Amino acid sequence: MARYPEGRQEMIQVCDDLTAREAREREVRALLEAAGEHPQASPHLVGLDLPVGAELPPSVTAHAAGDWLLAPKP
């Protein structure tokens, strides 16, 4: 979990291959379980590639690893 000086919190789950449905479900399940303990943190799933059309819960934000690493951080 990342905690920022201004109080914002993020949970970041990283998986190299999210193309397999079982892997996505496992990673999302871990994020949602952690969200129960940290409801104020926003859940993020980071993978090397994001499969097109992959269904994720609306509370989980998915990021391609390259975009995540290169994006400016607040």
- What percent of the chain has pLDDT above 70? 99
End-to-end CA distance of the chain: 16
User: Tens digits of per-residue pLDDT, 19-42?
Assistant: 888 989 999 999 999 999 999 999
Average pLDDT estimate for 4-31: 91
- Amino acid identity at 57: P
> What whole-number distance in Å separates Cα of residue 4 and Cα of residue 8?
5
Domains held by the chain: number: 1
pLDDT of residue 33: 94
**Helix, strand, coil shares of the chain as percentages rounded to 5?**
30, 30, 40
pLDDT band of 74, cuts 50, 70, 90:
low
Least Cα distance to 32 among 61, 66, 53, 2 occurs for 61
pTM, rounded to two decimals:
0.86
Q: Between 42 and 72, whose confidence is greater?
A: 42
Expressed as residue numbers, the domain containing 52 is 2-70
